[in-house]
Structure 1
Amino acid sequence: MSDPKIRNMDEFASVSGISRPTLSKFFNDPDSVRKSTRERIEEALEKFDYRPNLYAMNQNRRLTKTIGIVVPNLTDPFFAKIARHIEDHVIAAGYRPVLLGSNGTPAQELENLNNLRLLKPAGTLLAPLGRVSETPQIREFCNEVPTVLFDANLENTGEAFIGSDNQQSVTTIVEYLCRTGDAPAFFEMKTPTNPNAVKRRNAYISSMERLGHRPELIQVDGDGWDFEEIGFREGTRLLSGPRPATNTILCSNDRLAIGLLSAAYQLGLRVGLGDGCALRVAGHDDHPFSRYTCPTLTTVSQDYTAIARTSAETLVARIEGNALADSRRDILFDGQLVMRGSA
């Protein structure tokens, strides 16, 4: 018969001959014990096939080594990519990441935060849904748990916000489009889901006016996070009727642009530069799929690496008691123009 399974740390301490306090110290921080002790514990773990119950450990510890990471939607490659970068930095700092997706709904976003409460996390990195977020409840969570926001901002919430400088990035792509062809119209949802969309609209308007062009907003119906479907449906309607005065369309995000590109293809409109092209299309974000559209999508990138690194470093500094500014901080990174075939 096989040996009975070890059920808890007390039983593991008994069979391994290593004291319970030493084991607790090791599981909290392996580097906090001597190398010889660490090697004994690791050998015992392998020999007895024991894995500690991290949830139970957290309930008995004032400060855990868990960091929650909450993003709007794990199926979106944009958030999957930035979350992966954040996970790497969290692990390198000696913490355990717990990644949760909100599935685009405020109820799930709050459920994720409530579940994290049970784990007693050392801190949380949160990319909020934005307009539909239950901000008072999120702010209450942030008052209990050190939290850094990234990607989308909620005013006066959390220790800091780390994201992209939408004014700079939109100005960069508007200037490029005006320099290389017709001034762009701005394609967006009437009721933006993400607060970044409002900032991009305002940046578009100010950039166009500064360059001496009249802003043209194409505000379409749609709600939620099905941006490609909205871009395709409303793009088909737009391109099937009287065309905009300009042949250049700047979309609020790459996912809307991907839908618009598909609509143009279905209608037989060639998108890009050069003879025979009826339309130029550009986006924002450098979504992982934007380099594989047909034609490939001109866009402006977000600095995934810098946002992920700075978000993790800012939170860890707060957790470990390193000095931060007394007031909440916003740290913004410039975007980079990515010129491809669509514009």
Structure 2
Amino acid sequence: MECPAMSDPKIRTMEDFASASGISRPTISKYFNDPSSVRQSTRVKIEQALEQFEYRPNVYAINQNRRQTKNIGIVVPYLADPFFAEIARTIEAQVIQAGYRPVLLGSHGDPEQEIENLDNLRLIKPAGVLLAPLGRASDPARLDAFCRDVPTVLFDANVDGIGAAFVGSDNNQSIGLIVEYLCRTGQPPAFFEMKTPANPNALKRRTAYLNAMKRLGHAPVLVQASGGGWDFEAIGFREGSRVLTDRKLPTNTVLCSNDRLAIGLLSAAYQMGIRVGIEEGCTLRVAGHDDHPFSRYTSPTLTTVSQNYVAIAERSAETLFKLINDESPPTAREITLFEGNLVMRASA
């Protein structure tokens, strides 16, 4: 009796391969764990069947079966940032609900610490990892080496080609949304950003701003803050003070690349006696992006675009669990982007 052809859709899992090849499932599993652990004749038979059916097992699933671990690593750039603390808390709840043990680590904005976190996770043999990478500052070669060994889903910041999947926000949609709103309700906005941002989201937001302004027929204005690191409020305050003192802005509206820069700019305006908002007597409008947990408590409260924390957390976790438990290897890297929602408050 002939075995099914390679194209037979049933040849997808190790059980299907065992049935088609006539070799027991435990023997095949033993071979994939250690080829030298089976007899030479059996090894030859398995390898001939692999070639015939072109079956390639999911290495992630094999490693998971071997390890029998319930640890899930969650790595974020900066745990002191309430944005990452909130999304990590949401992901942690998803992991616990699914019966896994979350291990939460922060990289402190340091690419070496990011790699050290992943190396430390290797020691506890995680079932999988949910990683929000630093982005531009990350070491892509070392990230890729880890992701090839351990089921990994990236969230928040994408590093092209690394990890089995990425889940994040649609920056093009969200920036377009708030630019259109600001143009409709007042003067077109200037874009306040880091000159050399570490997070790839910032670059996507810059491009989205330029595209939106062009689409709406307005000249873009980039206001770039010097300095680096993750102390965005301090940078926003220092560079915002400089920009407001120079009085060279051609508009009374500023869209900040993220809410933390906007919080620094709001503080600078307050110190200089500049009234921010949409009420009579206000001379500056300020908006941000992210709906940072503090943005609803600034003075005035910050107009922004919210990211869907819950949806990002749930999809990231679901994608990882599927990757861990499904023996069918992914055919392509998945990218899932969620749209943002405009949050209109008093600042713009």
TM-score range, shorter chain: 0.7 to 0.9
Aligned with 2:126 (options 121, 125, 140)? 121
Deviation (angstroms), 1:322: 5.9
**Matches of 1:73 and 1:245, distance apart in 2:** 35
Corresponding pairs, count: 286
| 1:215 has 2:220 as partner | yes
Over the aligned positions, Cα root-mean-square deviation in angstroms equals: 1.5
Name the amino acid aligned to 2:334. R
1:83 matched residue in structure 2: 88
Aligned with 2:195 (options 173, 190, 193)? 190
Aligned with 2:101 (options 96, 101, 111)? 96
Identity %: 69
| 1:319 has 2:311 as partner | no
| 1:279 has 2:284 as partner | yes
Q: C-alpha deviations, 1:131-160, integer Å up to 9, x for none?
A: 111111011000000000000000000010
Deviation (angstroms), 1:94: 1.1
User: What are the within-5 Å matches in structure 2 for residues 50-69 of structure 1?
Assistant: 62-69=67-74
Answer whether contact 2:71 2:127 (CA < 8 A) is retained. Answer: yes
| 1:307 has 2:312 as partner | yes
User: What are the within-5 Å matches in structure 2 for residues 19-34 of structure 1?
Assistant: none
Deviation (angstroms), 1:324: 6.5
Name the amino acid aligned to 1:238. V
| 1:132 has 2:142 as partner | no
Aligned with 1:266 (options 253, 264, 271)? 271
Deviation (angstroms), 1:222: 1.3
Q: C-alpha deviations, 1:7-52, integer Å up to 9, x for none?
A: xxxxxxxxxxxxxxxxxxxxxxxxxxxxxxxxxxxxxxxxxxxxxx
**Matches of 1:227 and 1:322, distance apart in 2:** 43
User: What are the within-5 Å matches in structure 2 for residues 102-251 of structure 1?
Assistant: 102-251=107-256
Deviation (angstroms), 1:338: 0.2
Q: Secondary structure at the match of 1:330?
A: strand
Q: In the superposition, relative to structure 1, how do residues 251 and 324 fare at CA in structure 2: closer, same or farther (>3 Å)?
A: farther
Q: C-alpha deviations, 1:207-261, integer Å up to 9, x for none?
A: 0000000011001101111100000000000001123010000000000000000
**Matches of 1:319 and 1:206, distance apart in 2:** 39
1:28 matched residue in structure 2: none
Answer whether contact 2:306 2:340 (CA < 8 A) is retained. Answer: yes
Q: Secondary structure at the match of 2:318?
A: helix
User: What are the within-5 Å matches in structure 2 for residues 27-42 of structure 1?
Assistant: none
**Matches of 1:324 and 1:275, distance apart in 2:** 60
Answer whether contact 2:164 2:330 (CA < 8 A) is retained. Answer: no
**Matches of 2:228 and 2:66, distance apart in 1:** 42
Answer whether contact 1:317 1:323 (CA < 8 A) is retained. Answer: no
**Matches of 2:67 and 2:135, distance apart in 1:** 31
**Matches of 2:188 and 2:289, distance apart in 1:** 16
**Matches of 2:97 and 2:204, distance apart in 1:** 33
Query: What is the TM-score of this pair, normalised by structure 2?
Result: 0.80
Answer whether contact 1:63 1:121 (CA < 8 A) is retained. Answer: no
1:289 matched residue in structure 2: 294
Name the amino acid aligned to 1:144. D
Q: Structure 2 unaligned segments of length 5 or more: list them.
A: 1-62
Name the amino acid aligned to 1:185. A
1:29 matched residue in structure 2: none
**Matches of 1:338 and 1:323, distance apart in 2:** 41
